Chains A and B, each alone.
Chain A
Amino acid sequence: MKAFRILTAGLAGLMIAASAHAAGGAAHPHEPEEGWPFEGVTGQFDQASLQRGYQVYQEICSSCHSMKLLSYRNLGDPGGPFYDPEYPNPNDNPFVKAIAAQNEILSPTPNDAGDFDFRPATPADTFRSPYPNDNAARAANGGAVPPDLSVIYKARHDGASYVYSLLSGYPDEEVYSERVVAEASDGGTPDDESDDTPAQVQTVIDASKLHIGHGDEHYEGYLIQNPGQYYNPYMPGDTVPQFEGDPRHAPPGGFLAMPPQLIAGRVEYSDGTEATVEQMAHDVAQFLAWAGEPKQTNRKSLGLAVMVYLGILTILLWFSYKRIWRNVEH
């Protein structure tokens, strides 16, 4: 019987462990040193950080990435970046209205003449999308559609830490170098420019200079970065085909079409916080964590109440049970 119990108890455990199979090949995302304030049973979002995160999204990310599932009014929802208790209905929040109005959107309804006009957004409108459709996005980004960021937090394992690690995890400037793979040629006729070919240059990454996360793994060799592709150790993928070195010890990660975006000082925070790469990555990751699941703090606090309730009910039922069965041997 004991073995039966142990085995059956292991069912859930093993299955959960099995289905939470990690995506292979990429470095494990890490959270910022101070951790995430919204995690844990009583965690809450840091409103100032959410506001800065929105600023980073608005000024940097939103030029390529849409957030189709969010409306400007969400910014003023309870728990949101610009929530003001004075305006329980976010549609009335003047700050939210002003933020919405900064964005020109194509009206989803036609005007009297049947045409679609551009107009400033209202809080009820969804976030402005940078491209009218996926084909336009693909065409503008070398064939890769920048993913919608509405639920990216839930669409990646360890969402917030993934975004944070990816954005702040591009290798330092010093590891990149250029390599000439084919010399410039005049095509044999020095005077004829039509048969000239320019020098072919390749960007290579010296793997021995990579410092990935907190690991002290050392890699020897060169990673070749094709044009329009950027190496990131946190990107799921496979570096072996691009690696000049021992294929058994290729660096983790993969290549993505997004170049490094966060450069120190690229945004000027209105609250005076210094815009370091880590700070911006931290803020925008927290903003995306909120956007991906805005009700998560409500969920956890309601969960606490439910747990207390179920605990009380369990105790009461136990006594009821004992009392009813007290005269029956079973």
Chain B
Amino acid sequence: MTDTPAHDHSETIDDDRRNFIHIATGAVAFGGAAMFAWAAIDQWNPAADTKAASALDVDISKIPLGGEIRVLIGGKPFFVRHRTQGEIAAAESVNVATLRDPQTDDERLHAKADGTLNRAILVTSGSCTHLGCVPVGPAQGNTGDFGGWYCPCHGSHYDTSGRIRKGPAPKNLPVPDYNYVSDSVINISL
């Protein structure tokens, strides 16, 4: 072996770049970095305690007729509304075909343990489907043009079933996962 300055070996170095062993090494190193990156990215996901705090029992027996309560689950607002007979009738009488996001009132209710519907209680998300503002409702004295909720940010009107009727919002107020623990308690989860 003779010692020659490395600069004269540029050709050999270029050959080397295509050498299998270098490609394999680079690939394995890259794979390892990607695995570490996965751990660094996965930690952005909700932590176990955050996930665990995503359900709530709500006592519906104390909601006044025609009123509503607002609850926070995992920081998100939800409306639980005790509808009057008139409001139920208004929600049911709408021609679904004319709606922007067609849904019947019954589709927006969850059944009790015995399979029947409790039409007096409506549970919806409390975030406007337009840009996430919290609409005002009976407690604020403004239920909009259709008796449900009114979003003051950009003027979306929801009816007594929480469906979008007027304004920029594209969708009805979503109905969360909930079930009747008993006749007077519902469990809402994200």
Contact = CB atoms under 8 A, between A and B. Distances in A.
Interface of A: 71, 73, 77, 89-91, 112, 123-124, 309-310, 312-313, 316-317, 319-320, 323-324, 327-329
Interface stretch (B47-55, B81-89, B159-167, B168-176): B47-55
B12 A313 contact: no
A91 B49 CA distance: 10
Interface residues of B, number: 24
B28 A320 contact: no
Consensus secondary structure, chain B interface: helix
A323 B17 CA distance: 11
A330 to B, nearest CB: 9
Contacts of A329: 1, 3
Most buried by A among B13, B25, B28, B53: B25
B3 A313 contact: no
Most buried by B among A77, A123, A313: A313
A30 to B, nearest CB: 35
B32 interface: yes
Contact of A319 (B1, B3, B21, B29): B21
Given A112-B62, A323-B16, A323-B19, A312 B28 contact: yes
Contact of B22 (A73, A77, A320): A320
A91 B22 contact: no
Contacts of B48: 73, 77
A317 B25 contact: yes
B40 interface: no
Contacts of B24: 316
B22 A327 contact: no
A324 B25 CA distance: 13
A102 to B, nearest CB: 18
B50 to A, nearest CB: 10
A312 B24 CA distance: 10
25 contacts: A73-B48, A91-B51, A91-B52, A123-B52, A124-B49, A309-B28, A310-B32, A313-B28, A313-B29, A316-B21, A316-B25, A316-B28, A317-B25, A317-B29, A319-B21, A319-B25, A320-B22, A323-B16, A323-B21, A323-B22, A324-B13, A327-B4, A327-B6, A328-B3, A328-B6
